[in-house]
Structure 1
Amino acid sequence: MERIMPKKRILPYVLLGLINNKGSLSGYQISQEFKHEVGDFWHASHSQIYPELARMKDDGWLIDHDEDKSTFYSVTETGYRVLRDWMKEPLTDNEEIFSLKLYFINEKSDPLLQHLLKQELKIKQSKLSYLQGRLKEVFIDQKIIQKSFGHYLILTRAIEREENHIQWLESKIAACDAN
């Protein structure tokens, strides 16, 4: 029987990244970040955030201090190393994780920026190649296209999405190389 590995928890890294980017945040401010900036590509609820902050404090990733009747959290050196180690982990075909890691890069000169962009480019090129192969394999003539037109549209949309993503990645890599 194949053993299924539990899904890696991403929330601690998201919290580390948010707090690290701002220097210090209260739980309320963190929840507001999920409603605004990071909420465009990641979601977490209050019921997830506060227990995770407590675990991270216990693990030595965060320290807290009280100010104006609120508890504020800051990233420790250990927490910063944990965040950077996670950001260095190889990407998989998961745009949310790529977006999160990219979001937490503050400076254009950060060596992780090029690393992430180039990893994502390889993933997207591989996916594009696969999709183009599927198009050739499944839709060998107009008759088949007409018979499964919705499937054809979805597959060609996926190909265009990957082509656009590759073009965007290549332009960002070139822009980083130029400086």
Structure 2
Amino acid sequence: MPKKRTLPYVLLGLINDKEQLSGYQMVQEFKHEISDFWTASHSQIYPELQRMVDDDWIQIVTPASQPEANRNQTYYALTEAGHTVLLDWLREPLTAKDSDLFPLKLFFIKTKDSELLRPLLTQQLAISQDRVVYLKGRKTTVFQTPSDIDSHYGHYLTLSRGIERETNYVLWLQKLLEAL
């Protein structure tokens, strides 16, 4: 089964956040905001925008009275169908296979009291807790003796760091959930 394309949902989220954006502005958002955790190129964005227009998820609009609006650029806004698609995607449960979507979905949550926040954090917490258990089990299985560690020291360090990173992630998620 082919993997679901993520880019259209990211573009919907960007447009939703700003109400309307040009393709150029979306490229800039990727460069300056989203590139910390996800990337897309100019050559991916523009064809996807056309597919989304064709699917009636977005529509071409005349820019609102924005002094910086370039009248030669095409601006896009969400349609009602696009807004529904975005909300449906944000509500889709995370799985261990797609937990890399967590930062993207989190990015598009606007307020602390969003109905989407607690379920998203809870899902990621469960995935991360399972990952800690798995990594600790691997460490126990692979490194049973000091000589196992000595003969594969880099692997041991990498696995130890993975456990530490994921454990800190669990603690961070728990702290966020407690603050809600």
Q: TM-score, normalised by structure 2?
A: 0.92
Give the match for residue 11 of structure 1: 7
**Counterpart amino acid of residue 153 in structure 2:** F
Q: Deviations over 1:70-129 (max 9, x none)?
A: 211111111011011111112123443100000000011111100000000000000100
Q: Summarize the alignment of residues 103-118 of structure 1 with structure 2, pairs less than 5 Å apart.
A: 103-118=107-122
Question: What are the equivalent positions in structure 2 for 1:74-85 lying under 5 Å apart?
Answer: 74-85=77-88
Q: Is the 8 A contact 1:16 1:80 kept in 2?
A: yes
Please say if 1:153 is aligned against 2:157: yes
Report the RMSD for the aligned CA atoms in angstroms: 1.1
Which of 90, 94, 104 pairs up with 1:91?
94
Is 2:12–2:82's contact at 8 Å kept on the other side of the alignment?
A: yes
Q: Structure 1: which 5+ runs fail to align?
A: none
Q: Which residue of 1 aligns with 2:68?
A: none
Tell me, in whole angstroms, the C-alpha distance in 2 between the residues paired with 1:38 and 1:143: 44
Output the TM-score relative to the length of structure 1.
Answer: 0.92
Q: Which residue of 1 aligns with 2:46?
A: 50
What is aligned with 1:100?
104
DSSP 3-state at the match of 2:50: helix
Secondary structure at the counterpart of residue 169 of structure 1:
helix
Following TM superposition, where does structure 1 have runs of at least 4 consecutive aligned residues deviating by more than 2 angstroms? 92-96
Determine if contact 1:42/1:96 at 8 Å carries over to the other structure: no
Q: Deviations over 1:138-167 (max 9, x none)?
A: 111212111111110011010001101001
Task: Return the alpha-carbon distance in structure 2 between the equivalents of residues 96 and 32 of structure 1.
Answer: 22
d(CA) in 2 for partners of 1:103, 1:96: 12
What aligned pairs does 1:15-26 form with structure 2 within 5 A after superposition? 15-26=11-22
Residue 35 in structure 1 maps to residue 39 in structure 2:
no
Distance in 2 separating the partners of 1:133 and 1:108: 35
Partner of 2:170: 166
Deviation at residue 15 of structure 1 after TM alignment: 0.3
Identity value in percent:
55
User: Is this contact kept in 1: 2:56–2:79, CA < 8 A?
Assistant: yes
Q: Aligned-pair distance for 1:137?
A: 1.2
Residue 74 (structure 2) aligns with? 71
Q: What do residues 50-69 of structure 1 show as CA deviations (whole Å, max 9, x unaligned)?
A: 11111111111111123422
